[in-house]
Amino acid sequence: MEKEDGLGLIQIYTGDGKGKTTAALGLAMRAAGHDFKIAIIQFMKIWNYGEIKSLRRLGIDLFRYGTREFVDPKNPSPIDFDQARRALSKAEELMRKGDYDVLILDEINVAVDFNLIALKRVVDLLDKKPHNLELVLTGRNCPQELIERADLVSIIDEIKHPYKKGVEARKGIEF
């Protein structure tokens, strides 16, 4: 074990550009190399991500909520609400148990922005973060109340995007 005790921060990856979840995956991969115990909770979507196989190889635990469909922000389905709430409960549970060194809440910012989960519960989660836990939140449109509680906020913007040129999402690179 190269692991050492230390301060865990609250990190947020937000912005309209690509790379938020990807950066969180890279962070998980780096931490895995130090034998940290890492969990990722997906709040908004379930795809057949290529990373699932890699996460398994690295011993990173993945908890998947959401559906295969994009959530309609104007009209989320009861399933969307249910899935996002279960994801949040799982986050609360894992934090309470304290088994993990790094906890990544993927797309939680969007779940809050879409009102699938209450901002107050997420604020409470951040306020109760154990000293040693590294907590990572991803997703665009991160609410100000969360940003204020973060130690590090990375905003990813894009200059160009291949989708705008008509290139479709490619297996192994974007998903």
- Asked if 16 and 38 count as a contact pair (C-beta separation under 8 A), the reply is no
- The answer to whether residue 23 forms part of the interface with a copy of itself (CB under 8 A) is yes
Span near a copy of itself by CB under 8 A; candidates 63-71, 79-87, 112-120, 159-167 = 159-167
Q: What is the DSSP string of 112-131?
A: HHTTSS-HHHHHHHHHT--T
**The residue to which tokens 């879409």 are assigned:** 114
Q: Which of 73, 77, 96, 167 binds a copy of itself (CB under 8 A)?
A: 167
Angle, helices 78-97/119-127, rounded to nearest 10 degrees:
10
Q: Which of 39, 43, 44, 49 binds a copy of itself (CB under 8 A)?
A: 49
* Binding to a copy of itself, residues 95-124 (CB under 8 A): 101-102
> Judged by CB, which is closer to a copy of itself: 28, or 88?
28
- CB-side neighbour CA atoms (13 Å) of 113: 19
Span near a copy of itself by CB under 8 A; candidates 66-74, 80-88, 108-116, 162-170 = 162-170
Q: Which of 68, 74, 131, 160 binds a copy of itself (CB under 8 A)?
A: 160
- Token pair of 143 as six digits: 């609410």
- Asked if 16 and 37 count as a contact pair (C-beta separation under 8 A), the reply is no
Distance of alpha carbon 53 from alpha carbon 40, whole angstroms: 14
Where on the chain is the footprint of a copy of itself (CB under 8 A)?
Answer: 2-4, 6-7, 9, 13, 15, 17-19, 21-34, 36, 49-55, 57-58, 101-102, 134, 147, 150-162, 165, 167, 170-173, 175
